[in-house]
Structure 1
Amino acid sequence: MAINAGLASLSESLWTAATGTYMLAVVAYTGEYAFGKNGRIARTSTDRTAQASGVRQPALVGSSEATGGIADRLDGMADQPDLASQPRFGAGTVEPAGDAGRRWGRAAVGFTVLAALFHLASVAIRGIAVDRVPWGNMYEFTLVVGLMATVAWLATLVKMPQLRYLGLFVMMPVLLVMFLAGTLYTKASKLVPALQSYWLAIHVSSVAVAEGILLTSAAITTMYLVRARFERHAAAGTAPARFAALGSRLPAAAALDKAAYRTVAFAFPIYTAGVIFGAIWAEAAWGRYWGWDPKETWAFIAWVIYAMYLHARATAGWKGNRAAYINLLGFGAMTFNFFVVNIVISGLHSYAGLS
């Protein structure tokens, strides 16, 4: 089947629409972070004694039962502060929810969902245009990773809608991934013979899903490090410097640490399956399961680092900065494998589609 140039052009237009809508979502998340109630609660750091003294929590507003729709449901649940989870340093008062913050937050979720739909349509139509799975080169793979990161964030909002105001720190990396895809753009084309296998759909899709979720975990871990430094300064009674001051508006460090761990725990089996599927495909294509090709080697290094992270958390009880640095090291190895190995280092997996 010939390449459908019209559909390929439509896919590129949808990529542009998705990128523009992600930009609007980032602006809206910034608005909620700056003007929304949750950011102010984190900043004032209401301690648990306030709750014991009879501070009332605002009523749940905008619930799904009353208004329907994901944006309304998330808005209502996000407006209910979790006083028990606030750190115990500093005193403050719970400020009432501002209409501006709610509007920014609802708009942010709406833009995110709309951008995800544009994004999904761009990937799907690209696949139809080339009559194959749409992740046969770095441009397409990058699009899929960004889409998976967005889906992971929306899934996180469904489970923990109170984290909505942190969307700025998750969607900014997604927006950067979209711009990166543009720099890696490759014209719609058929696959090279080595990639014409059903294992492409199985192996690459599992790796893309895992890497998209791990991108979200890396963003949460970065927020944790900022918040943890802020809490150390607050406990010592010193003024936080530079980026640590941003931690005043973030959730408790312990909550972010737990969220990052759970995200990795969910993604790691998917990534493991992707590595195994790749080994099976290698045996079918090259007659061996493992040959220490650069791509295979760095995939294994990243797998080992994430395994170390989960093992240290589960057995040695590692939490905090030590675990966070291991998590970021794993993401760094995976990113190195994606960029440097694909673009710079030559090997059996050199199918970036950039030449």
Structure 2
Amino acid sequence: MESYLWLSRTALLLAFVLLLIAIIPFGLAIKSKKHKSAQIALILTGVAFGLQLIYFIARWKAVGYAPVSNMYEFMTFFSIMLIGAFLLMSTLYKQWSIGFFAIPIALLLLGYGSVFSSEAKPLVPSLQSHWLAVHVITVAASSAILSVSFVTSMMYLLQRLDVTKRTRSTKSMEFVLWNLVVVCGFVLVSSYFHLTFSPKTVAFTAQDGIAVEAIYTMPILVANDVNAGFLAIPTNIDARKFNTIIWSYGAGTLLYIVLRFVWRKPLYVLLKPFTLSIQPKLLDEISYRAILIGYPLFSLGGLFFAMIWAQIAWGRYWGWDPKEVWALITWLFYAALLHLRLSKGWGGERTAWLAIIGFGIILFNQIFVNLVIAGLHSYA
């Protein structure tokens, strides 16, 4: 078991390094229009994808079940599927420059997943089902394909932005990029405090009168107990997780300010030149096709397979658990997007902004709902 775990960790680390390196030749290829750099970048990405598959297989061998049962495993697999989806789309459309934007998103997902425990543990009873693997793998694959639509929509909007003016579109794009930087901030601050901060315990009394202890892994800013010496918040809010959110947005905002100060211009101005190698119409087409593929796959994994697993695990197909509700919201949102595209002729910028919002809903469901909102899926 230990040898397989070592192999999985090593393969994943090497994949992360290769993907990080691959961004450079992708950028050079776009700026210089040299196909040799693009070929190097694609080779590095392909090798990294192979290493990610080795991680997945080796960890499966080590733990004895499909490694998609916690946040570390799910976000890692999400990243693997995103790289696979990019390679598939770049092969179909011969547009390798998408990798310059897709790979950083995949690295963010890997970095986010690495913050959580990678310890191999036995599954709780509700997770001991093959339908869990079918459900989660399908959801991750569909989410990755839908993420490609986010990437190409970002490229489409960046390409069409008039960066000489401050408009609603430029402000919205800056908001999107700021949120991506906040994820970087979360990864950085979590990693730093993991190495330097000793966990602290705060005891308080919950609303039902039961004594509760919260273990903080970051310096304490807020607590549920007014006598704890920190800013007190209501007990119906998880102060420990809210504390993490404050640190993440604080660190992410500071990082964004530093980036703005160093380059002395908004990030969308820096990124715009890297989007000009693809025709806007083709970007719009790729985004639409990705949704056409990802949506029915999500329908299977996020609803149909999920209901089968719910029946096996909890004896009911639907229970209005927060995770189930947000899966339904995600499904309805993309259904509305396709309806507006097909029947109302919404294309171009409208579809691109909707695809970005859809990606935000996916991340909200996979991250915020899993971690902050109490429910049956809080095991993650």
Q: TM-score range by the shorter chain?
A: 0.7 to 0.9
Gaps of 5+ in 2: 166-264
Structure 1 residue aligned with 2:345 = 317
Residue 131 of structure 1, CA deviation: 0.6
- In structure 1, the residue matched to 2:11 is 14
Aligned to 1:155: 88
Per-residue CA shift, 1:188-241, capped at 9, x if unaligned?
Answer: 1221111001111211111010011111111111111111225999xxxxxxx9
Deviation at 1:250, TM superposition (A): 3.9
Cα deviations across residues 58-97 of structure 1 (Å, max 9, x unaligned)?
Answer: xxxxxxxxxxxxxxxxxxxxxxxxxxxxxxxxxxxxxxxx
- 3-state SS of the aligned residue for 1:28? helix
Q: 2-side partners of 1:185 and 1:212: how far apart?
A: 22
Shift in CA distance, 29/327, structure 1 to aligned 2, threshold 3 Å: same
Q: What is the aligned partner in structure 2 of residue 278 from structure 1? A: 306
Taking the TM superposition and a 5 Å limit, the aligned residue runs for 1:157-306 are: 157-161=90-94, 163-230=95-162, 243=268, 246-247=272-273, 249-274=276-301, 275-306=303-334
Superposed displacement of residue 27, structure 1: 1.5
Matches within 5 A, 1:107-126: 107-126=40-59
> Which whole-Å deviations, capped at 9, do the CAs of 1:105-150 have from their partners, x for residues lacking one?
1110110000001111001100100011111111111111111111
Per residue, is there more strand in 1 or in 2?
2
Match of 1:88 in 2: none
Contact 2:22 2:45 in 1 (8 A): yes
Equivalent residues of 1:227, 1:253 under 8 A apart: yes
RMSD (Å), alpha carbons: 1.8
The alpha carbon displacement at 1:15 in A equals 0.9
8 Å contact 2:30–2:277 — kept in the other structure?
no
Instruction: Kindly indicate whether the alpha-carbon contact (under 8 Å) linking 1:33 and 1:166 is maintained by their aligned counterparts in 2.
Output: no
- Distance of 2:138 and 2:309 partners within structure 1: 13
* Residue identity matched to 2:111: F
Deviations 1:297-317 (A, max 9, x none): 111111111111111111111
Q: Structure 1 residues 178-187 or 336-345, which shifts more?
A: 178-187
Q: Distance in 2 between matches of 1:251 and 1:28?
A: 17
Gaps of 5+ in 1: 37-100, 234-240
Deviation, 1:184, is 2.1
Matched residue, 1:345: 373
Q: Distance in 2 between matches of 1:175 and 1:334?
A: 17
Q: In 2, Cα distance between the equivalents of 1:232 and 1:319?
A: 24
Provide the rounded CA distance (Å) in 2 between the counterparts of 1:9 and 1:188: 12
Q: Percent of aligned positions with the same letter in both sequences?
A: 34
Q: Which moved more, 1:277-286 or 1:114-123?
A: 277-286
Alpha-carbon distance in 1 for matches of 2:98, 2:136: 30
Q: Deviations over 1:259-307 (max 9, x none)?
A: 1011011010100001111112212222221111010011111111111
* TM norm structure 1: 0.74
**CA distance in structure 1 between the partners assigned to 2:117 and 2:6 by the alignment:** 12
State how far apart, in whole Å, the 1-side matches of 2:342 and 2:163 are. 25
Contact 1:210 1:267 in 2 (8 A): yes
Report the Cα distance in structure 1 between the residues aligned to 2:139 and 2:333, rounded to whole angstroms: 16
Counterparts of 1:186 and 1:325, CA distance in 2: 35
Post-superposition, which runs of at least 4 consecutive aligned residues in structure 1 deviate over 3 A? 230-233
* 1:230–1:244 CA contact under 8 A, matched in 2: no
What SS is found at the alignment partner of 2:161?
helix
Amino acid in the other structure paired with 2:6: S
